[in-house]
Amino acid sequence: MVETNGSNKLSQSKRVLTSLMAGATAGALAKTVIAPLDRTKINFQTQNLSFNFREAFVFLVNTYKRSGLKSLWRGNSATMVRVMPYAAIQYSSHEQFKHLLNVETNAQKRERPALSFVAGSLAGVVSTTATYPLDLARARMAVTHKEQYRDLSAVFMKTIKDEKFSRLYRGFVPTLIGVIPYSGFGFFTYETLKRF
């Protein structure tokens, strides 16, 4: 029995575009759903507080009472600037690496399971390399006063002017060391479970 893949009916450029759009949408939706929890986490990190569920719940309720429901998603649009390109590139490059490494069908994945891991790891490397400056800029905006950086472009301009371009990749190597196994195992598990 020959396995067919619905995406084989699409041209290569349409497959890439479809993967980019689906990845960006998946990343945006997932991050938007958990944005209030992410905001709670950042509050505990920046306030030097010990985390517990009761206090997290109190923070969410107090934020809602003080500033309204929309305030629980404050900063989410800045997060989207990083998450959407990252997810788009990660999912799309994963599809391309599966194609290049010839592990697209279930039979191919069974024969060469390590290549599913490699495809996932490479997807993580590509997406992290492409979007790392966005992550760094977002982190700088989160821990500095609003007056220091008015928007994302100000972070890039000030960093390049006052420091140098390579500072946009500060901490990149340790991040990559974590991304390789994380992305590899994530996609390997996903592809393995998909077979069953």
196 in helix, strand or coil?
Answer: coil
Segment among 21-35, 55-69, 102-116, 161-175 with least mean pLDDT:
161-175
pLDDT of residue 103: 93
Instruction: Round to whole Å and give the CA distance between 24 and 69.
Output: 25
The verdict on pTM exceeding 0.85 is: no
Q: Are residues 39 and 99 in the same domain?
A: no
Instruction: Round to whole Å and give the CA distance between 189 and 196.
Output: 11
Query: Contact, 79 vs 35, CB < 8 A?
Result: yes
Q: Are residues 113 and 171 in the same domain?
A: yes
| Boundary residue ending a domain (58, 74, 90) | 74
Q: Are residues 64 and 94 in the same domain?
A: no
Tell me the pLDDT band of 44, cut-offs 50, 70 and 90: confident
pLDDT in tens, 66-110: 888 988 888 787 788 889 999 999 999 999 999 999 999 889 988
Instruction: Look at the chain and report how many structural domains it folds into.
Output: 2
pLDDT of residue 167: 81
Q: Are residues 102 and 178 in the same domain?
A: yes
Instruction: Give the structural domain span for 11.
Output: 1-74
Q: Are residues 54 and 125 in the same domain?
A: no
Segment among 46-60, 92-106, 132-146 with least mean pLDDT:
132-146
| Boundary residue ending a domain (74, 97, 129) | 74
CATH code of the domain containing 121: 1.50.40.10
Structure tokens given for 13 = 């450029």
Q: Are residues 9 and 34 in the same domain?
A: yes
Q: Are residues 85 and 66 in the same domain?
A: no
Q: Are residues 87 and 130 in the same domain?
A: yes
Q: Are residues 68 and 147 in the same domain?
A: no
| Boundary residue ending a domain (32, 53, 74) | 74
Q: According to DSSP H, which parts of the chain are helical?
A: 12-33, 35-46, 53-67, 76-100, 106-111, 113-143, 152-162, 172-195
Instruction: Round to whole Å and give the CA distance between 140 and 178.
Output: 21
Instruction: Round to whole Å and give the CA distance between 138 and 155.
Output: 9
